[in-house]
Amino acid sequence: MPAIDRDLETLALERDADGFVRLTVTVPGHRQNVLTQRVIEELSRVLDQLHAERPRGVILLSGRPGSFFAGADLSRLEELGTLPTAEIADLCDRGKAVFAKLSASFPTAAVIDGTCLGGGLELALACDLRVATSEKHTVLGLPEVKLGLLPGWGGTVRLARLIGPGPAVELAASGETLDGAAAGRLGVVDACVPAAEAVESARRLLVLRGDDGFIAARRRRMSAPVDLDSVERAFLEATTAAVILGRTGGHYPAPPAILRTILAGASVDAAAASRIESEAFAKLAATPVARNLLRVFAIGERNRRDSGVDTTSCGEPSPAAAPAVVGAGIMGAGIAASHLRAGQPVTVVDINPEALAASVPGILAEAAWDRLAKRPDEARALQLTGHLRTSTSFAALAAADIVMESVTERPDIKQQVLAEIERMVGPGTVITTNTSTNPIGRLAAGLTDPSRFCGLHFFNPVRRMTLVEIVRGPATSDATVASAVAHAKRLGKCPVVVNDSPGFLVNRILMPYLHEAGELLREGVSAERLDRVARGFGMPMGPIELYDMIGLDTAFYAGLVLSAAYGDRIEASPVIPALVKAGKLGRKTAAGFYRYAEAGPHGRIVGRDDKATEVIARYAYPPRESSDRTIVDRLFLPMLLEALRGLDENLVRDGRDIDLAVIHALGFPAFRGGLLAWGDSLGAAEVVRRLEPLAELGLRMKPTERLLAHASSGRPLTGEVLP
């Protein structure tokens, strides 16, 4: 065997008697295969050797189950922002030069089983043929756009020639993924077969397509310009640009850059298109948006690895085999459905038999929701029926290893229910509460063993909201926190550990945003303008729309808790209780600050509500002139100050948790990197300067000592944020 085979760390070669080579990639030190520098170097060396051997065909596959390639190595991506654009473009060109060797001489086929994303898909596209498996874990896509980038290793070039510029733009600009069957229908792969048949299918395709001239013809087509007439090009450019603008609001430069790059590359040969792609990638990598999105991605990866505690003494939490939910209301049903979606059987207990029975169809429909079809999959719902157990007796909790209480927010009722749960379950069972306002220490007062109790705060709607606050009470043990974190991750959620505090983390930071919006209304700023400015900042909806979405009654009760705790800087607004008293609760009643065409979350806004206008006028302040920039400062600077106060109080273990939480729970624009990152984009000294003209508004606009220290030292708020 040639010497080169013996010193490979990431690749293994297997030759057969018929002249075929199986090239298997397994990247050590990573949970999934990623394109490290070592992989690229070894691939280049092996392909050069095989070029000299001239095998009949090469089959590229992964030796790591469930992962073809998850993309580029994150550590390499994080370095991009520090490099000159010319060097970044050169890195792209060097990677593409290696990939080009896959279709330079001998026929090649990629067997895609598992995750095939970003650079992994570009690697597969560089092969002559692709065979995907029909397994559920197989997904293909180009998610670079979600990092503020575009494919930089030939993805825009090859995909446009393989499936056409229009579909290529849609796939690359959306960042959405395809399963094997969908990739086959689109033409991204040549076959989709069961995993057990994939390698043999690739071998047969290499023989068939090599003999009939298909591979040679495809290589010629992949190197030539795309046949796109001027009318088709103009239509694609106009319509796609409008769709992209609608999706991004103009805040994300990568999607329009993808459109421009694919169209420019389509009119020239592949070599010239490749250079256009490299230069476009390099320009995007240097933008603040890309740096922020890469930071957010890195924070998310850190969260994925984080156990939630700073000690290893509690060991690895055992998977919860018997989870249970107490309470079949909206939140309890949503939590139960999230378990079924994650493949976990679950028990739901509610002492009200009518409420319990009524919840079952909704739980199954939610669990079987088909994102693409935008409706429940009835066959899937039927399959899940056997995984849902319901009971009106607490005795059904006896075998549970984690119980999630989700009854009404009244603390006396919660304490009674929690005590009954503790009486029924075993000594090793983790007991949690889904609450947004009740202090964990207070709820734990009636428990015999409060060390196994914590908050597990899901957000509504549970299916769409990924954040879960793991709330550590005064007596909560590390083992309990680690178990709760691990369980949330098994549900596909993003858990953030916070210490017990009124409003915990998310609602505490949301509070000043909503409060300030109410104050601005009373100063004469219109609801429409407030919402427009907030959306222009990048929020998914404005604060007044959010009030109506949350429900003004819910906001009122949460406001009582928060104003009692933080009344020195947040005074309860009289507007909200007045509207609640008038029955104007928001979308749920088709009227709040706005009027809606119908009650419910999907009702269309038809105008301002007259009663809301009357109430605001009753409690109006003297008018105050406010520019859009001032409105942004008043809405978001108090949120930043509250985040800094939370750091002073050790509300979270790391400031990065704050940025992750506000993005996932509040929709804070990811392109700004998070709340603290946005503060750094201004600079601490500039934040202090912007607060000066707002000082007359009171303590809520007063800089914290931490902010002043950062302004003086020049240290970033996102670095060294903990004492």
Active site residues: 457
Token look-up 């505490």 returns 508
CB 384 within 8 A of CB 340: yes
Positive or negative: CA dihedral 156, 157, 158, 161 = positive
CB 102 within 8 A of CB 178: no
CB neighbour list of residue 313: distance below 8 Å, 6 or more residues apart: 478
User: How far is it, in rounded angstroms, from Cα 548 to Cα 471?
Assistant: 27
Q: What does DSSP assign to residue 597?
A: S
User: How far is it, in rounded angstroms, from Cα 414 to Cα 436?
Assistant: 13
How big is the CA angle at 95 (ends 93 and 96), to the nearest 5 degrees? Answer: 65
DSSP 272-337: HHHHHHHHHHHHHHTSHHHHHHHHHHHHHHHHHH--SSS-STT-PPPPPSSEEEE--SHHHHHHHH
Q: How many CA atoms lie within 13 A of 156 on its CB side?
A: 37
CB 543 within 8 A of CB 517: yes
Query: 3-state DSSP: the chain helix, strand, coil percent, rounded to 5?
Result: 55, 15, 30
Q: Which of 147, 436, 539, 482 is nearest to 318 (CA)?
A: 482
User: How far is it, in rounded angstroms, from Cα 501 to Cα 334?
Assistant: 25
User: How far is it, in rounded angstroms, from Cα 390 to Cα 325?
Assistant: 10
Token readout for 197 is 């048949």
Token readout for 254 is 């990568």
Q: What does DSSP assign to residue 390?
A: E
Strand partners of residue 405: 326, 433
- Report strand pairing: 369-370 vs 375-376: antiparallel
Structural element, H or E, at residue 13: strand 11-15
The alpha carbon of residue 479 and the mean position of all alpha carbons in its chain are separated, in whole angstroms, by: 27
CB neighbour list of residue 84: distance below 8 Å, 6 or more residues apart: none
Token readout for 534 is 């907030």
Q: Which of 420, 419, 459, 470 is nearest to 443 (CA)?
A: 419
Amino acid at 3: A
> How far is CA 207 from each of CA 99, 221, 546, 585, 595, rounded to the nearest angstrom?
22, 20, 60, 68, 66
Q: Which of 713, 715, 716, 689 is nearest to 703 (CA)?
A: 689
> How far is CA 570 from each of CA 536, 592, 695, 699, 714, rounded to the nearest angstrom?
25, 22, 14, 9, 29
User: How far is it, in rounded angstroms, from Cα 664 to Cα 662?
Assistant: 6
Q: What does DSSP assign to residue 413?
A: H
User: How far is it, in rounded angstroms, from Cα 544 to Cα 321?
Assistant: 42
Amino acid at 82: T
CB 442 within 8 A of CB 414: no
Q: Which of 402, 386, 626, 667 is nearest to 513 (CA)?
A: 667
Peptide bond into 28 cis (omega under 30): no
Q: Which of 264, 169, 241, 206 is nearest to 61 (CA)?
A: 206
Q: Which of 271, 233, 238, 240 is nearest to 255 (CA)?
A: 240
Token look-up 């990598």 returns 285
Q: Which of 130, 219, 237, 225 is nearest to 178 (CA)?
A: 130
* Residue 90, SS3 per DSSP: helix
